[in-house]
């Protein structure tokens, strides 16, 4: 079936902090191979052509579509709902997303994404020579032409406006040909452009920061910094101007490891790469085509890291790891002090950036990446300029808000303990609004059970979940050597010995092993997660060894061995080196070049990402159109709200206070309904929405109980109809 292609682009005023969808200057477009038209925003034809394209049958083809669509939505608010409809009719493409889907399918995403997805890069990937001139003199100047009709524009200004449309058109056709010739499915592209739009709308709104709280936070961090500075100055690990002497710190670490008799030096990811390359180059290891660094190092002999380090001398960047885990396991007191200092300086720089935005009354507008090879999103600070002088003002004040540091108790050498606060509580809703977080409970377990079923394997985990059981108590029963009935009895009786020992270990085991982790990896994960040392093979009176937990896990979930056999069957294909491609059961997104562990994780991680993405699309639609996505005659309580953050499967929104209760439940219901629609064989957990006046990690639902309350003042799901959700507050503030 021939489609009509609407290739288009916009020119706008400059983006700036708080202004991510700036005013439109012109729209340039072409249907199929027609001549390219440039329409000025002041020309009434501009709006009419946009509307015709939104309502018509043509496929939209933009580069970074979400940016242009947000500009159009801001310019023409009456087209917001028709634009959502256009996306839902699968009519919106994006040359970047299509290219990412190719790179992921080929297993080359990590390499290719480093090169970026600019038009000329995509063009050269398809061997198209467009003669694109990156030094477009007009790129940042179209705002100057807002009072001039296109007919009076300088020739270059018009030419530059047209050239991207021309390029996008050629690229789209090259991509179609490429997909067909390699049989790479593009089914997922429309879902991914929808995801790109709701993420972009979220970036445009941004997350507000409380300036006074940030000031106090910065003062706290400075105090911690001072505490460690003197000793580090004396040891030469910090210079007089306060900067870290990293080379000296690494030397100290290596020397300490030698003295303490550690067989190897802890390395960073970059260090591991460099070390692996050195081993191969020196002939200490044979070369294996296409092997991961982790697998190379698994074959490496013990104790050669010291010889490698000798070759790195005077290289401050050489990858000796000084992170917290390495320092705790390998370092001494001085290294711990250095590590605290390093963390504090990073923390300070980040907080100062938040403060700049807060002082200027601007939101934090981070850069979210729509698609990683796992199917998940990513988040980064984006433009790193600080904007302390007007000429270097950044395009937005961003921050990593997807994975912010947690609060952490830190022990000092003198035995004193302090709490290192993460930045979460600096983030606040706008006036008259509340934050709302809705987290899928144990999404991975449901996802894994669903993927087992899709792979044709009967799942005991699915029946436990669907019957409202507790998978962690079930594994805990096996570990405690008691019956499942007894385990549930002890859990209900709040038996701390069972809950804190067996059920908790069961929980770690359930999350670790379904992704194909072995016992050593489990030891590592529990240490990182809970700072708990689990022995590898020998059970102790304090608890079972990793091997025992792994065996109990296999016994509890009979689907596990068949699942991993299924995973193995996906490997080895054409490369004959135990790698394979996987096409997502539901979304048909292909990921290529997977080793065993990625193959074990990709099906359920990708599924959860797809579910969360689809749910946030519906949530955002309701927020912006004010209507329920599944019944457009019904007003949605989410109207007027918006998303401010997205933590992989947990959205955080800002809801109008007066509708926060209804909005919060609606948000959670959409997530659950979407999950059940996409993964129909498992029940997926009920979501318990939490409201907040500040961003808190541990917020839970709290109700103001009404006279009709049937739960006796406890927060339960029956309160939804009889009581009102109120903001959760941490204990120390409850009196206030
Ligand atoms: Zn109640």
- Give the whole-angstrom CA distance, residue 695 versus residue 700: 12
From the CA of 689, how far away is ligand 1's center (Å)?
A: 14
The C-alpha atoms of residue 644 and residue 435 are separated, in whole angstroms, by 9
Q: Cα(706) to centroid of ligand 1, in Å?
A: 6
Separation of 675 CA from ligand 1 center, angstroms?
A: 27
What is the CA(708)–ligand 1 centre distance, in A?
8
What is the predicted pLDDT for the residue at 313? 73
> Looking up tokens 């190719």, which residue turns up?
102
- According to DSSP, the residues that pair with 419 across neighbouring strands are 409
Let me know: does 620 contact 592? Beta carbons within 8 Å. Answer: no
Q: Decide the pairing of beta strands 59-62 and 92-94.
A: parallel
Neighbours of 348 (CB within 10 A): 16
715 CA from centroid of ligand 1 (Å): 6
Rounded CA-CA distance 639/619 in Å is 10
Burial 628-637 (b: 16+ CB within 10 A, else e): bbeeeeeebb
Q: What separation in Å is there between the alpha carbon of 730 and the centre of ligand 1?
A: 20
Q: Calculate how far, in angstroms, residue 488's C-alpha sits from the geometric centre of ligand 1.
A: 26
Q: 14 near 27, Cβ under 8 Å?
A: no
CA 435 / ligand 1 centre spacing (Å): 21
pLDDT of residue 167: 93
CA angle 531, 532, 535 (to 5 degrees): 140
Residue with tokens 């984006």: 382
- Give 467's Cβ-side CA count (13 Å radius): 10
Distance between CA atoms of residues 137 and 5, nearest Å: 28
Q: How far is the CA of 512 from the centre of ligand 1 (A)?
A: 36
Q: Count of residues for the chain?
A: 736
Encoding tokens for residue 185?
Answer: 């499915």
At residue 476, the pLDDT reads 96
Report CA(707)–ligand 1 centroid distance (Å): 8
| 8 A C-beta contact, residue 319 and residue 305 | no
Dihedral sign, Cα of residue 222, residue 227, residue 231, residue 232: negative
Distance 469 CA to ligand 1 centre (A): 24
**Cα 688 to ligand 1 centroid, rounded to whole Å:** 14
Q: What's the CA gap between 276 and 28, in Å, rounded?
A: 50
For residue 713, the CA-to-ligand 1 centroid distance in Å is: 5
For the record, the structure tokens of 625 come out as: 């159109």
Residue 662 CA to ligand 1 centre (angstroms): 15
Compute, in angstroms, the gap from residue 716 CA to the centroid of ligand 1: 7
What is the torsional sign of CA 317, 319, 325, 330?
A: negative
Measure 695 CA to ligand 1 centroid, in angstroms.
24
Question: Distance, CA 720 to ligand 1 centroid (Å)?
Answer: 7
- C-alpha 671 – ligand 1 centre gap (Å): 23
pLDDT in tens, 177-200: 999 999 999 999 999 999 999 999
Q: In the prediction, which pLDDT does 574 show?
A: 54
- Ligand 1 center to 653 CA (angstroms): 23
Helix axes 65-75, 80-88, angle to 10 degrees: 150
Three-state SS for 682?
coil
**Ligand 1: centre distance to CA 717 (Å):** 8
Measured in angstroms, how far is the CA atom of residue 368 from the centroid of ligand 1?
A: 38
Rounded to the nearest angstrom, the distance between the alpha carbon of 725 and the centre of ligand 1 is: 9
Give one DSSP letter per residue of 408-420, joined into a string. Answer: EEEE-TTS-EEEE
State in Å, rounded, how far the first CA of the chain is from the last one: 65
Distance 719 CA to ligand 1 centre (A): 4
CA dist list (Å): 398 to 225, 352, 383, 601: 24, 12, 7, 30
Cα(700) to centroid of ligand 1, in Å?
A: 14
**Nearest one of 31, 180, 195 to 102, comparing CA atoms:** 180
Q: Going by DSSP bridges, is the β-strand pair 433-437/24-31 parallel, antiparallel, or unpaired?
A: unpaired
Segments in the chain below pLDDT 70 = 1, 132-134, 316-317, 387-391, 413, 573-577, 733-736
Chain centroid to Cα 629, Å, comes to 25
Strands 24-31 and 37-40: antiparallel
**Centre of ligand 1 from the C-alpha of residue 711, in Å:** 5
CA of 718 to the centre of ligand 1 (A): 7
Question: At what angle are helices 189-205 and 95-105 packed, to 10 degrees?
Answer: 120
Neighbours of 24 (CB within 10 A): 24
Distance 431 CA to ligand 1 centre (A): 27
For residue 571, give both structure tokens. Answer: 């490997």
Question: How many whole angstroms from 428 Cα to the centroid of ligand 1?
Answer: 27
Taking the centre of ligand 1 as the mean of its atom positions, its distance from the CA of residue 393, in whole angstroms, is 50
CA 660–ligand 1 middle distance (angstroms): 16
CA distance 344 to 410: 12
> How far is the centre of ligand 1, averaged over its atoms, from the C-alpha of 728 (Å)?
15
Task: Give residue 733 CA to ligand 1 midpoint distance, Å.
Answer: 22
CA of 508 to the centre of ligand 1 (A): 32
Left, alpha or beta for 547 (phi > 0: left; psi -120 to 50: alpha)?
alpha
Task: Round the CA-based radius of gyration of the chain to a whole number and report it.
Answer: 28
Which of the 8 DSSP states describes residue 19? B
Predicted confidence at residue 54, as pLDDT, reads 98
Contacts of 497 (CB under 8 A, 6+ apart): none
Cα of 721 vs centre of ligand 1, distance in Å, is 8
Distance from the alpha carbon of residue 665 to the mean position of ligand 1, in angstroms: 15
Ligand 1 mean position, distance from CA 735 (Å): 20
d(CA 553, CA 541): 20
Which residues are bridge partners to 654 per DSSP?
435, 642
Say how far apart CA 621 and CA 81 lie, in whole Å.
Answer: 8
CA separation for the pair 462, 238 (Å, rounded): 55
């Amino acid at each position: 079936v021939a489609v009509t292609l609407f290739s288009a682009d916009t020119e706008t005023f400059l983006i700036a902090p708080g202004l991510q969808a700036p005013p439109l200057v012109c729209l340039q477009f072409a249907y199929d191979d027609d001549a390219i038209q440039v329409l000025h925003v002041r020309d009434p034809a501009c709006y009419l052509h946009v509307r015709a394209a939104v309502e018509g049958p043509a496929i939209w083809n933009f580069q970074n579509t979400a940016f242009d669509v947000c500009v159009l939505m801001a310019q023409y608010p009456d087209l917001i709902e028709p634009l959502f409809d256009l996306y839902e009719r699968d009519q919106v493409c994006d040359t970047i997303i299509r290219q990412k889907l190719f790179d992921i399918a080929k297993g080359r995403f990590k390499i290719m994404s480093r090169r970026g997805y600019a038009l000329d890069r995509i063009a050269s990937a398809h061997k198209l020579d467009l003669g694109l001139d990156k030094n477009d003199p007009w790129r940042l100047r179209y705002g100057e032409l807002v009072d001039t009709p296109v007919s009076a524009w300088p020739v270059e200004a018009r030419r530059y406006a047209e050239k991207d449309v021309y390029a996008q058109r050629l690229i789209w056709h090259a991509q179609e040909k490429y997909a067909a010739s390699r049989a790479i499915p593009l089914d997922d592209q429309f879902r991914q452009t929808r995801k790109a739009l709701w993420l972009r709308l979220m970036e445009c709104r941004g997350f507000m920061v409380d300036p006074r709280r940030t000031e106090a936070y910065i003062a706290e961090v400075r105090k911690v910094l001072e505490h460690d500075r003197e000793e580090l100055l004396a040891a030469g690990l910090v210079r007089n101007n306060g900067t870290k002497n990293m080379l000296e710190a690494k030397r100290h670490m290596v020397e300490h490891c030698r003295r303490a008799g550690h067989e190897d030096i802890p390395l960073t990811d970059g260090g591991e790469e460099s070390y692996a390359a050195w081993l191969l180059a020196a002939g200490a290891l044979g070369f294996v085509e296409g092997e991961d660094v982790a697998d190379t190092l698994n074959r490496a002999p013990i104790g050669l890291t010291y010889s490698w380090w000798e070759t790195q001398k005077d290289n401050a960047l050489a990858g000796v790891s000084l992170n917290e885990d390495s320092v705790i396991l390998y370092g001494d007191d001085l290294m711990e002090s250095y590590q605290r200092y390093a963390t504090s300086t990073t923390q300070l720089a980040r907080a100062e950036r938040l403060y700049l935005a807060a002082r200027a009354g601007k939101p934090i507008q981070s850069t979210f990446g729509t698609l990683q090879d796992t199917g998940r999103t990513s988040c980064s600070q984006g433009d790193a300029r600080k904007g302390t002088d007007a000429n270097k003002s950044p395009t937005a004040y961003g921050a990593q808000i997807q994975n912010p540091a947690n609060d952490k108790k830190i022990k000092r050498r003198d035995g004193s303990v302090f709490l290192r606060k993460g930045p979460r509580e600096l983030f606040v809703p706008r006036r008259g609004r509340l934050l709302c977080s809705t987290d899928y409970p144990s999404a991975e377990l449901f996802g894994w059970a669903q993927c087992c079923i899709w792979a044709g394997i009967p799942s005991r985990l699915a029946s436990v979940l669907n019957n409202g059981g507790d998978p962690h108590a079930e594994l805990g029963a096996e570990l405690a050597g008691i019956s499942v009935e007894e385990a549930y009895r002890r859990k209900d009786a709040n038996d701390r010995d069972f809950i804190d020992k067996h059920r908790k270990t069961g929980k770690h085991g359930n999350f670790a092993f379904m992704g194909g982790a072995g016992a050593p990896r489990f030891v590592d994960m529990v240490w990182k997660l809970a700072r708990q040392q689990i022995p590898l093979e020998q059970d102790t009176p304090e608890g079972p060894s990793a091997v025992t937990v792994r065996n109990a896990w296999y016994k509890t979930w009979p689907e596990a061995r068949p699942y991993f056999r299924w995973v193995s069957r996906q490997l080895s294909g054409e490369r004959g080196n135990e790698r394979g491609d996987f096409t997502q059961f539901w979304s048909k997104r292909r990921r290529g070049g997977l080793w065993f562990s990625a193959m074990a994780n990709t099906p359920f991680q990708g599924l959860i990402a797809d579910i969360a993405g689809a749910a946030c699309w519906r949530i955002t639609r309701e927020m912006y159109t004010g209507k329920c996505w599944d019944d457009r005659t019904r007003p949605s309580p989410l109207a007027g709200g918006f998303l401010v953050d997205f933590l992989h499967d947990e959205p955080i929104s800002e809801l109008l206070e007066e509708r926060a209760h209804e909005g919060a439940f609606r948000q959670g219901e959409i997530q659950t309904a979407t999950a059940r629609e996409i993964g129909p064989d498992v029940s997926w957990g009920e979501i318990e929405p939490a409201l907040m006046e500040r961003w808190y990690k541990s917020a839970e639902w709290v109700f103001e109980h009404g006279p009709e309350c049937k739960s006796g003042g406890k927060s339960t799901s029956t309160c939804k109809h009889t009581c009102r959700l109120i903001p959760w507050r941490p204990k120390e503030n409850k009196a206030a």
